[in-house]
A and B are shown apart, each in its own frame.
Chain A
């Protein structure tokens, strides 16, 4: 008779459970870092940017060219962030500014056009020869022993960076004037303008910062998944689920969402009956969990409920 469960239940094999949790934690960190970029753009412009993943991919490919030219991994990270910042600002100024103030759907469709544009241009420039390409990491991929399992140093670095970015974002939005101005711009551009906020500059800044953060995520994720023109799209889909799960307005929510999705996916894939669900169904299962959570909390776990006067 075929066993209903492939894996022994956790109380019989805690080390397997631990391995699954740790590896989910590591993938969750990728989603969390990119979800932070989505939270940043949502908070500062009130849209979801579908081109985010492709701008990050484009920047990472540019960094890959510099890597071939002989730059060090840590230099690539700094340059990747700077390039992302510049790309985001240019994209906002040239392409998004003409549709500023229009219904959000128009802007979202423009970002979908940008998605195609960046993906296609990156494929044209870089996708020659052997794919996927190797991308360097400033950390090694040697495992850090945790007793029951090990976690690569690179993933630990990713976790630390993600945590640092989260703290910075919370401080930015809640403790600085610029952050307040960005939130005001997203909520009500007209009123923000009347309060003396330069709406256009705030939107540019929001796009630039989130593209910089996306670039950071891009160069940290590329060593794990390897580099090819589609490598950020799955990350984007997971990260958008993570950001929505945590509440699109909350940086800690994005991180929690990333971990819930990363760990939950692994556990659901391991500990559900293989005949009916099992590993192939882990993605639909975790998305089902996402939808169920949204039904209980329609603005995510930590999202602010938008209160608007009528």
Chain B
């Protein structure tokens, strides 16, 4: 059986919604049931999707880890970083250096390491780098921190090219991707195994993050984001929390990079570009700040918007040809803008509202939908009046942050 990616994702979303919204199991088990359904479908995915889509789904799992890592820092701790691509590429290179069969600088063992050991080292080294950057970052905030971290990302490419003895220079490094273990031979092939590897890593790291955020440390991160002074007054070590957030999020990015290297089997200085690094932040904000579900959705957006958005829009009736086909970036950009305008809290914010839906009242809600949409349209028309109302003397109603 073969499936296209979009029917598959629709099926995934539909079944998850059914599991979550219908009274199949008691209230407190609903979320668990929805997660089990999603995981079961994700385990089924490589057998129904073609190789390219399986590869994309592996990338989604990897990007989910990286976006979640950045979300730990930006969404939960309030520090903006545009340089998390640097930690990812650090993880990738650590992985490649340990797993290839060259002897770097007459120092690092030529024998390939087992991938899991290399992955642990890659995560650890990225965490150390995060610690090293997190401590000086204590002094910076807002745009200064954003540009300083972007500077780290910009710098890393020339550095990787220059020190070729360790990194293989412009060509980068290649190594064989790990084959499936003995007991799975014959059941799944190599791309499927890499997909499951990415999925398992993502599930473990997402679970750890979920746990962490419900611990005193996680609450401390959030308190520091909301008000450093209030957090300090509550006895929270502000500086330490911020450094821990940086270290953790760098470790997540490094782990994502490590698995990405496994998936690709090669690393070059261009494997992660500045645009990729900035896209992580786009993923965080589009998915939903301070939301684990949002991080996964953001990863979906980061992977699928560049590859599919323009094609889908072009296939809609009446929209084919012209700008849609020739300028795919315009569609991607417009999509990002539209999502931001319509969904202040990201896609996860919308889902959180829909999760409150009571299924027994569904007919009622559906019946009210037309009138509500009309009211919404009227409201929007009022709010968007500035588009056509260009009289310079027009009075705008007072600025009110609560409107948003």
Contact = CB atoms under 8 A, between A and B. Distances in A.
Which of the four size classes fits the interface of chain A? Answer: 35 or more
Interface stretch (B48-56, B113-121, B381-389): B381-389
Interface in A106-163: 106, 108-110, 112-121, 123-124
Interface stretch (A15-23, A92-100, A211-219): A92-100
A193 B340 CA distance: 25
Given A112-B282, A190-B399, A294-B140, A124 B330 contact: yes
Nearest to B230: A310
B161 interface: yes
A288 interface: yes
A241 B147 contact: yes
Contacts of B336: 109-110, 112-113, 116
A290 B329 CA distance: 32
B330 A117 contact: yes
A117 B154 contact: no
A108 B147 CA distance: 13
Interface string A9-34: 00000000000000000000000000
Given A110-B340, A190-B401, A287-B151, A120 B330 contact: yes
Contacts of A299: 144
A199 B401 CA distance: 12
B341 A98 contact: yes
A231 to B, nearest CB: 16
Interface stretch (B61-69, B95-103, B172-180, B320-328): B320-328
Contacts of A283: 154-155, 158
B263 interface: no
Contacts of A116: 329-330, 332-333, 336
A102 B289 CA distance: 13
Given A280-B162, A287-B151, A42 B143 contact: yes
B340 A291 contact: no
Interface string A273-309: 0000000110110011011001100111000000000
Contacts of B161: 280
B385 to A, nearest CB: 10
Contacts of B327: 120-121, 123-124
B146 interface: yes
A48 B140 CA distance: 16
Contacts of B387: 93-94
A240 B146 CA distance: 10
A223 interface: no
A240 B150 CA distance: 10
B205 to A, nearest CB: 23
B370 interface: no
19 contacts: A99-B404, A101-B401, A104-B142, A105-B289, A109-B285, A116-B332, A120-B332, A121-B330, A124-B327, A193-B398, A200-B386, A200-B399, A284-B154, A287-B154, A294-B148, A295-B136, A295-B140, A298-B144, A300-B144
Given A108-B281, A190-B401, A283-B158, 8 more contacts: A99-B340, A101-B401, A110-B336, A120-B327, A194-B398, A199-B399, A281-B162, A287-B152
